[in-house]
Structure 1
Amino acid sequence: MNVHAAIDLKMPGLRRPNGDPLRLNNTNFVAIDRDKDASHEATYRPQALYNRANEGFHANNETFLLHEVSTNLPIYLPDTGPTDFHLHLPPGGYQLVLVTSGTFTFDYDGRFYYVAPGAVMLQSAIVHRQLFYTWSGLSTEENLKTPQTVVPDPMSMGYSGKFLEAFITDPTTFPNPTVVGPDQINEAETPRVAWSHPLHDRPADAGFWLQDPLELDALYKPLAAGTPIKSAGPVYVRDIGIEVPSGRLTTGHIIATDPRGQSLLPKSTSAAADTAFLDRGEVVIYRVIRGTAAFANSAGENFELATGDTVTAGKNTINLVGVGENTQILRLGLLKGMENLRSWTPTQRDEIDGLAGQIITRKDIRPLRTEGKPVGYLYE
């Protein structure tokens, strides 16, 4: 492993973003990204195709980006193998990942995590890399058509790995420094090393979060009777638990129904789901992972979304009024705290990216990968 120089980061401009304040769109806007119009581009690395919800991103003052990531080449090619160790430093220290197909292995701060459809991760300012993903061997066209889900069934786990990913602002506007390049990684040592650095901007209570789709807190609860959402069968809700670890920047829920005659969703019958989340968010985002959903806007006009579609809208501008069979919808509510954040200036971004491995100012060697303090402890 490289020996990282301890550097004195007293330059105040590198400690916190001091660019323009972030602003959510507080008007009654509705922006729809249709899957039929989607563009899948290898924007950042050759093995991954990115499908951005650009209409919603631009309509919301480019404050929050949601995109779908589809792996499209085998892991064993020279330029598609494990990534380097790197950081993402978006405003608010925010990166959300929801796995929807295949399986992945991620290394967060020296610990391995094996994740499958339905797994939720929220992290940033943590040194990490991607080690493994499944690849189906299908052509690009067929690979992009394989179904996605938030339930880790054997069929979905065998497809190429896909996930939904979200950042506050566009990844090109904030620092993403490489800490250890792929050619310098010592596999016998590096995965047991935790790092610390002062370059992050996380709100109070923000931290690393991982929710397994089969743990008790991830079970689906039925919506209470009287909810004005029409469906042929019961509608269920899973709270993905990101409000506190995001620093109270975002709420996150999955709204879902079973296929006809089947019980697909892992359920809790101990209590009905609290419907208050449907009113949370200065801006709301709905992404249909599978199935169909019907909405009504504030003028009483209806519109429908299908698999792969996304709608971004202002507060109280739209309501979910119908959910089809075998449907899974991600709902994100963007909270007012985002407007307490600032963006990085281009100069700050370039300076931090240029520091690369010099950012690391302390390291902790764990006896084993499974021992030691949990991920993110150096930032608390």
Structure 2
Amino acid sequence: MNVHAAGDLRTTGLTHPNGAPLRLNTQDFVAIDRDRNATFEATYRPQALYNRANEGFHANNETFLLHEVATNLPIYRPDTGPTDFHLHLPPGGFQLVLVTSGAFTFDYDGRFYNVGPGAVMLQSAIVHRQLFYTWSGLSTEENLKTPQTVVPDPVSMGYSGKFLEAFITDPTTFPNPTIVGPDQIDEAETPRVAWSHPLHDRPANAGFWLQDPLALDALFKPLADNSIKSALPVYVRDIGIEAPSGQLVAGHIIATDPRGGSLLPKSTSSSADAASFAKGEVVIYRVIRGTAEFKNKTGETFELAAGDVVTAGKSSVSLVAVGENTQVLRLGLLKGMNDLRSWTPTQRDEIDGLAGQIITQKDIRPLRTEGKPVGYLYA
């Protein structure tokens, strides 16, 4: 993802990140990114356009980036297609992906994962690549307007692939080494990482997490109280990232069905209350579809529509109402993020320069569906 000068690989002496400490903005603040002001840019790869929630990123001391990734070119072009094998090494090892349209095939640590709308993936420094994505054939303008959802259905899976992605800090400030370039990949032998350098900037319990949108732990539970107003019943899905992130971030989706229909996969065995998704020193709400109304501490209300994002201090805003056929992602950034430090530019460049030299183990998986993970950075 990044292109930096290679360091002197004989004298790196790499340790923990030793840059400035991360600090969440715990003041009373509200920052709104409106979809009408979005700028989609091909920042990292030509086939994908990135729409960053920049207002929230800057207001929160640039500690957490949420952006939308929209596939915009066919996979068969010579400058697109499958990606290389690479690593992301943000502070805390945190990368979150929530698929919102189309379909993708990802290769995490040599295992294939075919995912569609509503799939959640969280990983901490694992060798991976993107193998496949859908492309609708629509123009860029039309493609960026296609609806998004967290519920898999034939219509949404036929659109171009899109997902919401989140990192701790900006991807340009941390190492993203290319492990094996696309021209050097041998499909019969998938490289892995078992790196001996003590770069343990990941919480002890953090690891890989995949939540299928139709799995039992992903079912939407009815909201038991009346804390969020709606003409239709309100449901909550815990996307399960708090534990695998090492208690860095909690995540939930608050949603309603379309009027006269039943879209959300639900559980009737238990219910949810507002306290179950109230965590966060800083909170981020991203409207995936529909509309949502918020209230600030002075009692003023404002409405967000699909594609809008609000980033706010712990008690600076509250979600008070949602419309029909609405889906809202809520992320709560937890205190543990303040224990992390950023990479210095020198460290970042040294690690990017190592590239494939950090591989010390390989594993052959003919079926790509078997075997235990071996590619964690922290073996």
Instruction: Name the TM-score, length of structure 1 as normaliser.
Output: 0.94
Q: Report % sequence identity.
A: 82
Which whole-Å CA distance do the structure 2 matches of 1:108 and 1:218 have between them?
A: 21
Which whole-Å CA distance do the structure 2 matches of 1:376 and 1:122 have between them?
A: 15
Instruction: Name the TM-score, length of structure 2 as normaliser.
Output: 0.95
- Conservation of the 8 A alpha-carbon contact between 1:250 and 1:335: yes
Change (3 A) 1:376 1:236: farther
Match of residue 370 from structure 1: 369
Pair 1:37-2:74 in alignment: no
State the Cα deviation string for residues 170-216 of structure 1 (Å, max 9, x = none). 000000000000010011222xx433124452102100000000000
Uncovered stretches (5+) of structure 2, i.e. residues with no partner: 1-7
- Conservation of the 8 A alpha-carbon contact between 1:97 and 1:166: yes
Displacement of 1:377 after TM fit? Answer: 5.8
Match of residue 231 from structure 1: 230
Which whole-Å CA distance do the structure 2 matches of 1:247 and 1:87 have between them?
A: 19
Which whole-Å CA distance do the structure 2 matches of 1:161 and 1:372 have between them?
A: 28
Which whole-Å CA distance do the structure 2 matches of 1:204 and 1:346 have between them?
A: 25
Which whole-Å CA distance do the structure 2 matches of 1:154 and 1:378 have between them?
A: 37
The 3-state SS of whatever aligns with 1:354 is helix
Match of residue 326 from structure 1: 325
- After TM superposition, list the pairs within 5 Å mapping 1:139-218 onto structure 2: 139-190=139-190, 193-197=191-195, 198=197, 199-218=199-218
Displacement of 1:367 after TM fit? Answer: 5.7
The 3-state SS of whatever aligns with 1:347 is helix
Q: Which residue type is aligned with residue 325 of structure 2?
A: N
Which whole-Å CA distance do the structure 1 matches of 2:47 and 2:235 have between them?
A: 35
369-378 or 107-116, larger mean C-alpha shift? 369-378
- Conservation of the 8 A alpha-carbon contact between 2:193 and 2:374: no
- Conservation of the 8 A alpha-carbon contact between 1:289 and 1:330: yes
Which whole-Å CA distance do the structure 1 matches of 2:358 and 2:15 have between them?
A: 11
Match of residue 307 from structure 1: 306
- After TM superposition, list the pairs within 5 Å mapping 1:266-305 onto structure 2: 266-305=265-304
- Conservation of the 8 A alpha-carbon contact between 1:207 and 1:376: no
Q: Which residue type is aligned with residue 136 of structure 2?
A: S
The 3-state SS of whatever aligns with 1:66 is strand
Displacement of 1:366 after TM fit? Answer: 3.8
Number of paired residues?
370
- Conservation of the 8 A alpha-carbon contact between 1:288 and 1:306: yes
CA RMSD of aligned residues (A): 1.6
Pair 1:263-2:262 in alignment: yes
Uncovered stretches (5+) of structure 1, i.e. residues with no partner: 1-6
Which whole-Å CA distance do the structure 2 matches of 1:318 and 1:370 have between them?
A: 44
- Conservation of the 8 A alpha-carbon contact between 2:117 and 2:157: yes
Match of residue 342 from structure 2: 343
Which whole-Å CA distance do the structure 2 matches of 1:122 and 1:10 have between them?
A: 32
- Conservation of the 8 A alpha-carbon contact between 2:96 and 2:165: yes
Which whole-Å CA distance do the structure 2 matches of 1:316 and 1:301 have between them?
A: 14
Which whole-Å CA distance do the structure 1 matches of 2:98 and 2:251 have between them?
A: 11
Which whole-Å CA distance do the structure 1 matches of 2:127 and 2:42 have between them?
A: 23
Change (3 A) 1:29 1:123: same
- Conservation of the 8 A alpha-carbon contact between 2:192 and 2:360: no
Q: Which residue type is aligned with residue 163 of structure 1?
A: F
